[in-house]
Structure 1
């Protein structure tokens, strides 16, 4: 098995070959707009047919519903840690859990 890179995900989603299968992808939000792609680097915005890249230092939770801001660093520093619901992360707002 090979993990897809972000660019490969964009190509696959842009080709519309997966659109008929969006129902099979795990929804990571309440309204089914966001789907977890197979690479754990991207979340699929099924309404816009667009992959959203998880930033390099951020970490997608195991269930795909939250993003740990700066959570993919080798060593987390002391102090406040930030977690966002996937909907807020995709919208780019400053609402944290």
Structure 2
């Protein structure tokens, strides 16, 4: 048939649903490899109105913020002084274990 790629929609959707159940603040993700993801995470209320520098997620969780989604706009490569607001989504990259730890913060 010449197929180069096999898609298993039930398995893929099952994995996606399981990941979202385990990490309720994670809204979407892209699997880069077995160990690394890019994830879109809803900011916990206690992190709102603080700068990326104050949150220091790279040092505390070993993940990096690569974008902020705010009211439909995307701020790519935000500066350390960028303030995170209550309704913002943070796009982060890192290994799955650290991302899970960060996305389960209350």
Q: What TM-score results when the alignment is normalised by the length of structure 2? A: 0.24
Greater percentage in helix = 2
Q: Which has the higher contact order (CA 8 A, sep 6+)?
A: 2
Larger CA Rg, structure 1 vs 2: 2
Q: Which has the higher strand share?
A: 2
